[in-house]
Structure 1
C-alpha cells in the first residue's frame, strides 16, 4: 500500500518540478529580453537605500500647503466616479445578454473594451489638450475610466440574476423598461453600490498621478518635488495620501458590509 502511494506521489513531484523549471526559464528569458537584469537591481540598491533614508524624515512644514491639493484630488475622484457610475448604468444594461440581443450587446461591449484599453493618463492628456490644464480633464478621464470598470462588473452581475422574475413579468406582458425597473434593479442595486465604492477607492489613487499631465490635484506637487529631488517633501505627500486612502478604505468597507 505504501509503495502504491509513493508511486502516485512521484509523478506529481515530477510535474511540480517541471513546472518550477519552466517558470524559471520563462523568468530568465523575460529578464534577458527586457534587459531587466537582477544584477542591475542589486547594483541599484545603494541608491534606493539613500532615497529611503531621505524619505524617512518627512518635511512636516510642507503638510499645510498640500492640504488643498489633496482635497482637490478627493473631489476630482468623487465627481469623476459619480459621473462614470451614472454613465455606466445604461451601457451595462445594453451589454447584458439576458436583457438584449447580440446586435445590441456586441457593440456595447466593443465600446467598453475600447474605453478600458486606453490608459487613464492618455485620456487625461487628450482632455488637457482639449480643455487646457485644470481639474476638468482629470474629472473626465476618471469618469471614462470608472464607466469602463463599473459597466463591466455590472453587466456581469445582471447576467447572473434570478431569471424567474423576468420570465414572470414577460409572461404577463410587461414592457422591457418595466421589468428592468422592478425585476433587475432590485437584484443588482447592492452590487452596483459596492462596485461604485470600490472604483472610488481606485480613483483616489489614480487621481493622485493625473497632475503629471496637467489634470490637477496632488499630482502637480508630485511632479514638482520629484523634479527638484525633494524627497522629504515627497515623503510628506505620500504620508498624506496614505492617511486619505486608509480612511476612505475603512469607510468604504463599512458601507459595503451593510449593503452586501
Structure 2
C-alpha cells in the first residue's frame, strides 16, 4: 500500500471542501453587501428587541376566548383548500406524467403551468383573490386550493413516472384500455404516496392559512394584524403560542397517519 497514493486520493476531496467554503463565504459577503445589512444597526436595535419581548410576556390567556373561533376558521380553510387542491391535482398530475401522456406537446405545457403556479407565493394569491371576491375566507380557500394543486400535482406526477412499468405492460398486452390501465395499474401503486403528499400539504396549509388574514383572507391572521397595529404584544404572543400548539398537534397527527399508511 502506497501512502503517497492515498494522500493523492484525499487531496481532491479537501480541495473541493475548501472551494465550497470559499464559494459560500463569497455568497454570504455578496448578499450582505447588496442588501445593505449592518451588524452595527443590529446591535443598536437589540435593546428595542428585548423591550418588545418584555412586553410580550406574560401572554394574555383570557384572549383565547376571542381567537378560538378564528383558529377553527383557519383550520377549516386549510382542510377545504387542501381537499379542493388534491382533487384538481389528480387530472393535472396525470397530464404531466410522460409515461401516461406520451405526447410532449401536452405534458410539457402542463408542467410549465405547474411551475408558474408554484412560483407565486400564497400571500400573493390570497391578495389577488381578495381583490376579486372581497374580504373573508373564500379568497383564502381559493389561494390554498391553487397552491395545494401545484404542490401535490408536482410530487404526484414525479411518483407516477417512477412506478413499476411491469403491471402496466402486462395490462396493455391483454388489451386493457387507458382508463383500466390507470385505475387498476397506476392508482394502486401511487395512492399511498398521493395520500402522504396530501397530508404533508395540509400541514403546510395550516401554517399558511394562519397568516392569510394579514391580506384580508380571514382566519387567525386578521388578529395578528389587529393586535400588532394596537401594540398589544401580550395578545400577539397569545396568538403565537396558540397557533404553535395547534400546528404541532396537527403535525403530530399527520406524521402518525403517514406512518400508518406507509
Do Structure 1 and Structure 2 share a fold, with TM-score over 0.5? yes
What is the match of residue 224 of structure 2? 222
Shift of 1:140: 0.5
Note the residue ranges of structure 2 that are not aligned, 5 or more in a row.
none
SS of aligned partner of 1:44:
helix
Structure 2 equivalent of residue 242 of structure 1: 244
Comparing 84-93 with 48-57, which one deviates more in the overlay?
Answer: 48-57
- Cα gap change, 1:5/1:205 in structure 2, threshold over 3 Å: closer, same or farther? same
Cα deviation, residue 3, structure 1:
5.4
Distance 1:211 1:11 in 2: 52
**Equivalent residue, structure 1, for 2:191:** 189
Counterparts in 2 of 1:2 and 1:39: CA distance versus 1, 3 Å? farther
Of 108-117 and 154-163, the range deviating more from structure 2 = 108-117
Q: 1:120 to 1:171 in 2, by over 3 A?
A: same
- Specify whether residues 113 and 12 from structure 1 end up closer, same or farther in structure 2 by C-alpha distance, changes over 3 A only: closer
1:8 shift after superposition: 4.9
Question: Residues 89, 12 of structure 1: CA spacing in aligned structure 2 closer, same or farther, 3 A cutoff?
Answer: closer
* TM-score using structure 1 length: 0.95
Which residue of the partner structure matches residue 141 of structure 1? 143
1:64 corresponds to: 65
Residue 127 of structure 1 deviates from its aligned partner by 1.1
Q: Which of structure 1's runs of 4+ aligned residues deviate more than 3 A? A: 1-15
Does the residue aligned with 1:208 lie in a helix, a strand or coil?
A: helix
Asked if 1:78 corresponds to 2:79, the answer is: yes
Q: CA deviation at 1:68?
A: 0.2
Moved more, 60-69 or 48-57: 48-57
Corresponding residue of 2:157 = 155
1:54 deviates by 2.1
37-46 or 146-155, which deviates more: 37-46
Superposed displacement of residue 21, structure 1: 2.6
Deviates more, 1:41-50 or 1:170-179: 41-50
Q: Identify unmatched segments of 5+ residues in structure 1.
A: none
CA distance in 1, matches of 2:110, 2:12: 47
The answer for the alignment partner of 1:258 in structure 2 is: 260
Match of 1:107 in 2: 109
**Of 15-24 and 231-240, the range deviating more from structure 2:** 15-24
Following superposition of structure 1 onto structure 2, how do residues 2-13 of structure 1 map, counting pairs within 5 Å?
A: 2=3, 5-6=6-7, 8-9=9-10, 12-13=13-14
CA distance in 1, matches of 2:8, 2:132: 68
Report how far residue 56 of structure 1 moved.
3.0
State how many pairs are aligned: 260
Query: d(CA) in 2 for partners of 1:156 and 1:184?
Result: 13
Using the TM superposition, give the Cα deviation of residue 226 of structure 1 relative to its aligned residue in structure 2, in angstroms.
1.1
Secondary structure of the residue aligned to 1:165 is helix
Matched, 1:36 2:37: yes
Scaled by the length of structure 2, what TM-score is found? 0.94
What residue in structure 2 maps to residue 45 of structure 1?
46
Give how far 1:5 is off. 4.3
In 2, Cα distance between the equivalents of 1:79 and 1:115? 19
